[in-house]
């Protein structure tokens, strides 16, 4: 998918990922770290784009949380229903 985000914003996301993954990717060469982070940024932005489109096309839901004893129940209802 094609992202229409500024290079500056993409670099900011990449820097955040580098910081978050620093210990996990330190065994890779600098070049491989850059390739991996670039791939992760691309995957992240693609997933956001997909979720944005899904969210726009789905009917809105409210999340209901009920707690009874040791049981926590999560359910969704459409807006306007209960």
pLDDT in tens, the chain (82 residues): 556 788 898 999 999 999 999 999 999 999 999 999 999 999 999 998 888 888 777 766 666 666 666 666 767 666 554 4
Judge whether 25 and 33 are in contact, CB under 8 Å.
Answer: yes
- pLDDT of amino acid 72: 65
Query: Between the CA of residue 52 and those of 12, 45, 56, what are the distances in Å?
Result: 20, 10, 6
Torsion of CA 67, 60, 46, 3, to 10 degrees: -140
């Amino acid at each position: 998918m094609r992202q229409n985000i500024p290079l500056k914003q993409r670099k900011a996301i990449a820097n955040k990922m580098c910081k978050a993954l620093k210990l996990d990717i330190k065994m890779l060469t600098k070049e491989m770290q850059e390739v991996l982070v670039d791939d992760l940024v691309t995957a992240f932005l693609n997933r956001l784009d997909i979720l944005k489109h899904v969210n726009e096309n789905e009917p809105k839901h409210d999340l209901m949380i009920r707690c009874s004893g040791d049981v926590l129940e999560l359910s969704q209802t459409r807006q306007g229903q209960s």
